[in-house]
Amino acid sequence: MADHEVQEVKIPVVSNPPDEAASGSDQSIQSAAIAAEIIATQNYRQVLSIHVHPTEPWILTTNNRGNVSIWNYQTRATVNSFEVNNADEPVYSAKFIEQEEWLVVGGSDGYIYVYSYESYDTMEEVECFEAHGGYHITSLAVEPTQSFVLSTSGDHLIKLWTWEKGWECIQTFLGHYNKVTQVMFDPKDSNRFVSASLDRTVKIWSIDSATCNITLHGHPDGVICLQYFSSDNNQQFLIAGSSDGAAKIWDLATESPVSMIEGDGNQLNALCLHPELPLLITGLHDGTIQIWKSTGTAYRLENITGFNLGAVKALGYIKGSRRIVVGCDQGIAMMEVKVP
Protein backbone atom coordinates (compact mmCIF):
# COMPACT_ATOMS: atom_id res chain seq x y z
CA MET A 1 0.00 0.00 0.00
CA ALA A 2 2.84 2.36 -0.88
CA ASP A 3 0.44 4.89 -2.42
CA HIS A 4 -2.08 4.73 0.38
CA GLU A 5 -1.78 6.31 3.83
CA VAL A 6 -3.15 4.37 6.81
CA GLN A 7 -4.05 6.40 9.88
CA GLU A 8 -3.21 4.86 13.25
CA VAL A 9 -4.91 6.27 16.34
CA LYS A 10 -4.41 5.28 19.99
CA ILE A 11 -7.20 6.58 22.22
CA PRO A 12 -6.38 6.77 25.94
CA VAL A 13 -8.97 5.86 28.55
CA VAL A 14 -9.05 8.95 30.73
CA SER A 15 -10.50 7.08 33.72
CA ASN A 16 -11.26 3.46 34.50
CA PRO A 17 -13.72 3.39 37.44
CA PRO A 18 -12.98 0.63 39.96
CA ASP A 19 -16.53 -0.42 40.74
CA GLU A 20 -20.10 -0.52 39.52
CA ALA A 21 -21.17 2.27 41.84
CA ALA A 22 -19.45 4.89 39.73
CA SER A 23 -22.54 6.05 37.86
CA GLY A 24 -20.65 8.63 35.85
CA SER A 25 -18.30 6.03 34.47
CA ASP A 26 -18.78 6.67 30.78
CA GLN A 27 -17.03 9.43 28.92
CA SER A 28 -16.89 10.91 25.42
CA ILE A 29 -13.59 11.26 23.59
CA GLN A 30 -12.72 12.45 20.10
CA SER A 31 -10.07 11.76 17.48
CA ALA A 32 -9.55 12.76 13.90
CA ALA A 33 -10.71 9.33 12.73
CA ILE A 34 -13.51 8.47 15.17
CA ALA A 35 -15.62 9.66 18.07
CA ALA A 36 -15.96 7.16 20.91
CA GLU A 37 -17.72 6.73 24.24
CA ILE A 38 -16.26 4.37 26.83
CA ILE A 39 -18.33 2.31 29.29
CA ALA A 40 -15.97 0.83 31.85
CA THR A 41 -18.14 -0.21 34.81
CA GLN A 42 -17.69 -3.67 36.31
CA ASN A 43 -20.40 -5.54 34.38
CA TYR A 44 -19.04 -4.31 31.06
CA ARG A 45 -15.54 -5.71 31.50
CA GLN A 46 -14.11 -8.99 30.21
CA VAL A 47 -16.75 -8.88 27.46
CA LEU A 48 -17.20 -12.07 25.43
CA SER A 49 -20.20 -11.28 23.22
CA ILE A 50 -22.33 -8.39 22.00
CA HIS A 51 -25.77 -8.35 20.37
CA VAL A 52 -27.55 -5.11 19.46
CA HIS A 53 -31.37 -5.22 19.53
CA PRO A 54 -32.82 -4.52 16.06
CA THR A 55 -35.51 -2.09 17.29
CA GLU A 56 -34.89 -1.21 20.96
CA PRO A 57 -31.88 1.00 21.94
CA TRP A 58 -30.28 -1.93 23.77
CA ILE A 59 -26.87 -3.60 23.71
CA LEU A 60 -26.79 -7.14 25.14
CA THR A 61 -23.43 -8.24 26.53
CA THR A 62 -21.98 -11.30 28.26
CA ASN A 63 -18.69 -11.56 30.08
CA ASN A 64 -16.11 -13.86 31.55
CA ARG A 65 -17.65 -13.75 35.04
CA GLY A 66 -21.08 -15.13 34.14
CA ASN A 67 -22.79 -11.76 33.85
CA VAL A 68 -25.45 -10.85 31.26
CA SER A 69 -26.27 -7.15 30.91
CA ILE A 70 -28.45 -4.90 28.76
CA TRP A 71 -27.23 -1.33 28.24
CA ASN A 72 -29.53 1.42 26.90
CA TYR A 73 -27.32 3.49 24.62
CA GLN A 74 -29.84 6.38 24.52
CA THR A 75 -30.32 6.83 28.28
CA ARG A 76 -26.74 5.67 29.08
CA ALA A 77 -28.06 3.33 31.77
CA THR A 78 -28.21 -0.39 32.53
CA VAL A 79 -31.65 -1.88 31.77
CA ASN A 80 -30.94 -5.12 33.64
CA SER A 81 -27.96 -7.16 34.74
CA PHE A 82 -27.87 -10.68 36.20
CA GLU A 83 -25.69 -13.76 36.61
CA VAL A 84 -26.29 -17.04 34.81
CA ASN A 85 -25.58 -20.37 36.47
CA ASN A 86 -22.32 -20.13 38.43
CA ALA A 87 -20.75 -16.75 39.05
CA ASP A 88 -17.22 -16.31 37.67
CA GLU A 89 -17.87 -18.84 34.89
CA PRO A 90 -17.81 -17.43 31.34
CA VAL A 91 -20.92 -16.84 29.26
CA TYR A 92 -19.80 -16.82 25.64
CA SER A 93 -23.05 -16.02 23.86
CA ALA A 94 -26.49 -14.47 24.31
CA LYS A 95 -29.00 -13.30 21.71
CA PHE A 96 -32.24 -11.36 21.56
CA ILE A 97 -35.23 -13.28 20.13
CA GLU A 98 -37.19 -10.22 19.07
CA GLN A 99 -40.39 -11.93 17.93
CA GLU A 100 -40.92 -13.51 21.37
CA GLU A 101 -39.39 -10.74 23.53
CA TRP A 102 -36.87 -13.24 24.91
CA LEU A 103 -33.17 -13.55 25.59
CA VAL A 104 -31.48 -16.87 24.91
CA VAL A 105 -28.26 -17.44 26.84
CA GLY A 106 -25.66 -20.22 26.59
CA GLY A 107 -24.41 -21.26 30.02
CA SER A 108 -21.00 -22.46 31.13
CA ASP A 109 -22.74 -25.61 32.40
CA GLY A 110 -23.97 -26.65 28.94
CA TYR A 111 -27.52 -25.43 29.61
CA ILE A 112 -29.52 -22.99 27.53
CA TYR A 113 -31.44 -20.37 29.51
CA VAL A 114 -34.36 -18.37 28.11
CA TYR A 115 -35.59 -15.16 29.74
CA SER A 116 -38.53 -12.91 28.96
CA TYR A 117 -37.73 -9.21 28.70
CA GLU A 118 -41.42 -8.23 28.30
CA SER A 119 -41.00 -6.93 31.85
CA TYR A 120 -37.32 -6.12 31.56
CA ASP A 121 -36.88 -5.02 35.16
CA THR A 122 -37.55 -8.60 36.38
CA MET A 123 -36.23 -10.65 33.42
CA GLU A 124 -38.30 -13.76 34.21
CA GLU A 125 -36.77 -17.14 33.32
CA VAL A 126 -39.18 -18.96 30.99
CA GLU A 127 -37.09 -22.02 30.07
CA CYS A 128 -33.92 -23.84 31.07
CA PHE A 129 -32.68 -27.12 29.60
CA GLU A 130 -29.50 -29.16 29.20
CA ALA A 131 -28.10 -28.74 25.69
CA HIS A 132 -24.47 -29.87 25.61
CA GLY A 133 -23.79 -32.18 28.54
CA GLY A 134 -21.65 -29.96 30.75
CA TYR A 135 -19.59 -28.31 27.99
CA HIS A 136 -19.42 -24.51 27.73
CA ILE A 137 -21.78 -23.25 25.03
CA THR A 138 -19.58 -21.25 22.68
CA SER A 139 -22.02 -19.76 20.17
CA LEU A 140 -25.74 -19.23 19.57
CA ALA A 141 -27.60 -18.13 16.44
CA VAL A 142 -31.27 -17.17 16.07
CA GLU A 143 -33.15 -17.48 12.78
CA PRO A 144 -35.34 -14.34 12.59
CA THR A 145 -38.21 -15.81 10.53
CA GLN A 146 -38.56 -19.27 12.09
CA SER A 147 -38.52 -20.70 15.63
CA PHE A 148 -34.93 -21.95 15.32
CA VAL A 149 -31.89 -21.53 17.55
CA LEU A 150 -28.48 -23.08 16.84
CA SER A 151 -26.03 -23.88 19.64
CA THR A 152 -22.42 -25.06 19.67
CA SER A 153 -20.01 -26.09 22.40
CA GLY A 154 -16.65 -27.62 23.19
CA ASP A 155 -18.07 -31.07 22.39
CA HIS A 156 -17.63 -30.22 18.64
CA LEU A 157 -21.39 -30.60 18.06
CA ILE A 158 -23.92 -28.20 16.58
CA LYS A 159 -27.56 -28.58 17.64
CA LEU A 160 -30.78 -27.14 16.22
CA TRP A 161 -33.62 -26.29 18.63
CA THR A 162 -37.17 -25.14 18.00
CA TRP A 163 -39.18 -23.33 20.63
CA GLU A 164 -42.45 -24.10 18.82
CA LYS A 165 -41.98 -27.74 19.92
CA GLY A 166 -41.03 -26.98 23.51
CA TRP A 167 -37.35 -26.44 22.73
CA GLU A 168 -36.96 -29.85 21.15
CA CYS A 169 -33.62 -30.66 19.53
CA ILE A 170 -34.61 -31.52 15.95
CA GLN A 171 -31.12 -32.05 14.50
CA THR A 172 -27.55 -32.67 15.66
CA PHE A 173 -24.80 -31.86 13.19
CA LEU A 174 -21.57 -33.86 13.07
CA GLY A 175 -18.42 -33.02 11.16
CA HIS A 176 -16.03 -30.72 13.03
CA TYR A 177 -13.24 -32.39 15.00
CA ASN A 178 -12.31 -29.37 17.14
CA LYS A 179 -14.24 -26.66 18.99
CA VAL A 180 -16.88 -24.84 16.96
CA THR A 181 -16.32 -21.13 17.49
CA GLN A 182 -19.28 -19.57 15.67
CA VAL A 183 -22.48 -20.46 13.84
CA MET A 184 -24.59 -18.12 11.72
CA PHE A 185 -27.79 -18.59 9.73
CA ASP A 186 -27.72 -17.72 6.04
CA PRO A 187 -29.57 -14.37 5.73
CA LYS A 188 -30.90 -15.42 2.30
CA ASP A 189 -31.95 -18.98 3.14
CA SER A 190 -33.36 -19.88 6.57
CA ASN A 191 -32.67 -23.57 5.91
CA ARG A 192 -28.90 -23.09 5.66
CA PHE A 193 -26.19 -22.01 8.07
CA VAL A 194 -22.42 -21.78 8.30
CA SER A 195 -19.99 -22.79 11.05
CA ALA A 196 -16.39 -21.94 11.94
CA SER A 197 -14.05 -24.19 13.91
CA LEU A 198 -10.58 -24.41 15.38
CA ASP A 199 -10.12 -27.39 13.03
CA ARG A 200 -9.28 -24.71 10.37
CA THR A 201 -12.42 -25.25 8.32
CA VAL A 202 -15.65 -23.47 7.51
CA LYS A 203 -18.66 -25.70 6.84
CA ILE A 204 -21.94 -24.91 5.12
CA TRP A 205 -24.94 -26.94 6.26
CA SER A 206 -28.56 -27.63 5.45
CA ILE A 207 -30.79 -27.96 8.51
CA ASP A 208 -32.27 -31.10 6.91
CA SER A 209 -29.01 -33.08 7.02
CA ALA A 210 -26.85 -34.07 9.99
CA THR A 211 -23.76 -34.24 7.78
CA CYS A 212 -22.09 -31.47 5.83
CA ASN A 213 -21.60 -31.57 2.06
CA ILE A 214 -19.62 -28.31 1.69
CA THR A 215 -16.36 -27.68 3.54
CA LEU A 216 -14.15 -24.66 2.83
CA HIS A 217 -10.50 -25.56 3.38
CA GLY A 218 -7.37 -23.44 3.20
CA HIS A 219 -7.22 -21.51 6.46
CA PRO A 220 -3.75 -21.92 7.97
CA ASP A 221 -5.05 -21.56 11.51
CA GLY A 222 -8.25 -22.03 13.52
CA VAL A 223 -11.25 -20.04 12.24
CA ILE A 224 -12.72 -17.73 14.90
CA CYS A 225 -15.40 -15.56 13.31
CA LEU A 226 -17.70 -15.29 10.30
CA GLN A 227 -19.78 -12.73 8.43
CA TYR A 228 -22.01 -12.97 5.33
CA PHE A 229 -22.25 -10.16 2.79
CA SER A 230 -23.63 -9.56 -0.71
CA SER A 231 -22.15 -7.67 -3.64
CA ASP A 232 -23.94 -4.99 -5.63
CA ASN A 233 -25.19 -7.65 -8.06
CA ASN A 234 -26.58 -9.70 -5.12
CA GLN A 235 -23.84 -12.31 -5.26
CA GLN A 236 -23.24 -13.84 -1.84
CA PHE A 237 -19.86 -13.97 -0.07
CA LEU A 238 -18.52 -15.00 3.30
CA ILE A 239 -15.66 -13.49 5.32
CA ALA A 240 -13.89 -15.85 7.75
CA GLY A 241 -11.29 -14.60 10.24
CA SER A 242 -8.68 -16.82 11.87
CA SER A 243 -6.26 -17.05 14.79
CA ASP A 244 -3.32 -15.74 12.74
CA GLY A 245 -5.13 -12.45 12.09
CA ALA A 246 -5.92 -13.17 8.44
CA ALA A 247 -9.39 -13.21 6.89
CA LYS A 248 -10.48 -14.92 3.68
CA ILE A 249 -13.35 -13.80 1.46
CA TRP A 250 -15.17 -16.77 -0.06
CA ASP A 251 -17.44 -16.75 -3.10
CA LEU A 252 -20.26 -19.06 -1.99
CA ALA A 253 -21.40 -19.74 -5.56
CA THR A 254 -18.03 -21.21 -6.56
CA GLU A 255 -16.91 -22.23 -3.03
CA SER A 256 -13.54 -20.61 -3.69
CA PRO A 257 -11.57 -17.76 -2.07
CA VAL A 258 -11.58 -14.51 -4.04
CA SER A 259 -9.64 -12.22 -1.73
CA MET A 260 -7.71 -12.17 1.52
CA ILE A 261 -6.91 -9.75 4.31
CA GLU A 262 -3.38 -10.44 5.42
CA GLY A 263 -2.81 -11.02 9.13
CA ASP A 264 0.13 -10.03 11.28
CA GLY A 265 -0.04 -13.02 13.62
CA ASN A 266 -2.40 -11.19 15.98
CA GLN A 267 -5.58 -13.21 16.60
CA LEU A 268 -8.65 -11.85 14.82
CA ASN A 269 -11.47 -12.24 17.35
CA ALA A 270 -14.40 -10.44 15.70
CA LEU A 271 -15.72 -9.16 12.39
CA CYS A 272 -18.37 -6.56 11.65
CA LEU A 273 -19.51 -5.59 8.17
CA HIS A 274 -21.40 -2.34 8.36
CA PRO A 275 -24.73 -2.82 6.51
CA GLU A 276 -25.03 0.79 5.37
CA LEU A 277 -21.40 1.77 4.74
CA PRO A 278 -18.70 0.13 2.58
CA LEU A 279 -16.70 -0.76 5.69
CA LEU A 280 -15.36 -3.87 7.38
CA ILE A 281 -14.32 -3.62 11.04
CA THR A 282 -11.95 -6.25 12.48
CA GLY A 283 -11.19 -6.64 16.19
CA LEU A 284 -7.79 -8.00 17.25
CA HIS A 285 -6.39 -9.58 20.37
CA ASP A 286 -3.83 -6.78 20.78
CA GLY A 287 -6.66 -4.36 21.59
CA THR A 288 -6.88 -2.61 18.23
CA ILE A 289 -9.60 -2.45 15.65
CA GLN A 290 -8.91 -2.05 11.96
CA ILE A 291 -11.24 -0.23 9.58
CA TRP A 292 -11.18 -1.51 6.00
CA LYS A 293 -12.88 0.12 3.04
CA SER A 294 -14.54 -2.09 0.45
CA THR A 295 -13.36 -2.04 -3.14
CA GLY A 296 -15.63 -4.75 -4.53
CA THR A 297 -14.67 -8.03 -2.88
CA ALA A 298 -11.31 -6.63 -1.75
CA TYR A 299 -10.68 -4.44 1.27
CA ARG A 300 -8.16 -1.62 1.79
CA LEU A 301 -6.94 -0.73 5.28
CA GLU A 302 -7.91 2.84 6.19
CA ASN A 303 -7.50 3.17 9.94
CA ILE A 304 -6.13 1.39 13.02
CA THR A 305 -7.59 2.41 16.37
CA GLY A 306 -6.80 1.37 19.93
CA PHE A 307 -8.81 2.14 23.06
CA ASN A 308 -6.35 0.91 25.73
CA LEU A 309 -9.11 -1.46 26.90
CA GLY A 310 -7.35 -4.76 26.29
CA ALA A 311 -8.18 -7.44 23.75
CA VAL A 312 -11.16 -6.83 21.46
CA LYS A 313 -13.55 -9.76 21.81
CA ALA A 314 -16.80 -8.72 20.12
CA LEU A 315 -18.25 -6.20 17.66
CA GLY A 316 -21.73 -5.01 16.73
CA TYR A 317 -23.38 -2.11 14.92
CA ILE A 318 -26.27 0.19 15.80
CA LYS A 319 -28.82 0.13 13.02
CA GLY A 320 -29.45 3.39 11.19
CA SER A 321 -26.25 5.02 12.41
CA ARG A 322 -22.50 5.01 11.92
CA ARG A 323 -21.88 3.68 15.41
CA ILE A 324 -20.01 0.47 16.11
CA VAL A 325 -19.98 -1.26 19.51
CA VAL A 326 -16.61 -2.70 20.56
CA GLY A 327 -16.45 -5.18 23.46
CA CYS A 328 -13.04 -5.45 25.16
CA ASP A 329 -11.41 -6.94 28.25
CA GLN A 330 -11.66 -3.67 30.18
CA GLY A 331 -14.87 -2.14 28.88
CA ILE A 332 -17.05 -1.26 25.92
CA ALA A 333 -16.46 1.48 23.37
CA MET A 334 -19.23 2.93 21.21
CA MET A 335 -17.51 4.54 18.27
CA GLU A 336 -18.72 6.54 15.32
CA VAL A 337 -16.86 5.70 12.14
CA LYS A 338 -16.25 8.11 9.30
CA VAL A 339 -15.88 7.04 5.70
CA PRO A 340 -12.49 8.28 4.43
Q: What's the rounded Cα separation, in Å, for the pair 304 and 288?
A: 7
Whole-number Å distance between alpha carbons of 338 and 323? 9
Cα(173)–Cα(163) distance, integer angstroms:
18
Our CA angle for 210, 271, 326, nearest 5°, is: 125
233 within domain boundaries: yes
Let me know if residue 91 belongs to a domain. yes
For residue 2, is it within any domain?
A: no
Structure confidence at residue 106 as a pLDDT band (50, 70, 90): very high
Residue 264 counted as domain residue:
yes
With a CB cutoff of 8 Å and minimum separation 6, the contacts of 338 are: 33, 34, 322
Instruction: Tell me which residue range forms the domain holding 181.
Output: 7-337
**Is 179 inside any structural domain?**
yes
Contacts of 210 (CB under 8 A, 6+ apart): 171, 172, 173, 174
In a domain, 113, yes or no: yes
The count of domains in the chain is 1
Q: What is the mean pLDDT of residues 27-38?
A: 52
**Structure confidence by residue, pLDDT tens digits, 254-284:** 999 999 888 777 889 999 988 778 889 999 9
- Report d(CA 339, CA 34) in Å as an integer: 10
- Report the CATH number at residue 101: 2.130.10.10
Question: Is residue 52 a part of any domain in this protein?
Answer: yes
What average pLDDT score do residues 126-153 get?
Answer: 95
pTM: 0.88
Asked, for residue 1, whether it belongs to a domain, the answer is no
205 or 274, which is more confident: 205
Distance CA 191, CA 294 (A): 29
Q: What Rg do the C-alpha atoms of the chain give, in angstroms? A: 19
Tens digits of residue pLDDT in 65-90: 999 999 999 999 999 999 987 667 99
Q: What is the mean pLDDT of the chain?
A: 86
